[in-house]
Homo-oligomer: A and B are copies of this chain.
Amino acid sequence: MKVNITDSAKLFSTFASFPTVLITVEENIVTVTLIHIFSFSPPLLGIGIKPERYSYSLIKQVKEFVVNIPTKDLLKETMFCGAKSGRNVNKFKETGLTKELSLSVKTVSIKECPVNIECKVVQEIISGDRTWFIGEIVNGRIAEEYNVENSIQYWRGTYRLPGIIVK
């Protein structure tokens, strides 16, 4: 039997999981699950950031970001970078993650992440409680040993691996 639900938090919790990533802006790191593909051609990736977040002011200035995909062995670092603000903490220093020069943007990449996707902001959209910074992919790197099965999914307090393939 279906029950009428108007509580949006309950409705949102019917989704299982989304990819979670580490976003770098300049030399700060923030964990983001509200990352979406906006367009394939041109290739656009957007991230939703609330105005009160430290990353918001950074990205407003530099208009670029790098999407760094963590794997399960970086779960602790991923959780740390989601819980702390870069206003108070140097997240590279605290996590021991390593800065790696990017190819086409000034913002650093994270060396330990097997995927780095470099984006330049081409559109900003205010939608509800946050701004969506939409970036065009300008360059990227993938580690030869990267296995998507080790990437991290997240939603509503729960971290997961990608699931069983159904046919």
Given contacts A11-B115, A128-B44, whether A163 and B153 have CB atoms under 8 Å apart is yes
- The main secondary structure of chain A at its interface with chain B is strand
Give the residues from 25 to 43 in chain A that come closer than 8 angstroms, CB to CB, to chain B.
Answer: 34, 36-43
Q: What residues of B have a CB within 8 angstroms of the CB of A153 in the complex?
A: 16-17, 162-163
Q: What residues of B have a CB within 8 angstroms of the CB of A17 in the complex?
A: 17, 19, 153, 162-163
Task: Tell me whether A62 is interfacial, beta carbon within 8 Å.
Answer: no
Q: What residues of B have a CB within 8 angstroms of the CB of A121 in the complex?
A: none
Q: What residues of B have a CB within 8 angstroms of the CB of A161 in the complex?
A: 163-164, 166
A interface, CB within 8 angstroms of B:
1-6, 8-19, 34, 36-44, 46, 48, 69, 72, 75, 103, 114-117, 123, 125, 127-130, 132, 134, 137, 139-144, 146, 148-149, 151-153, 158-167
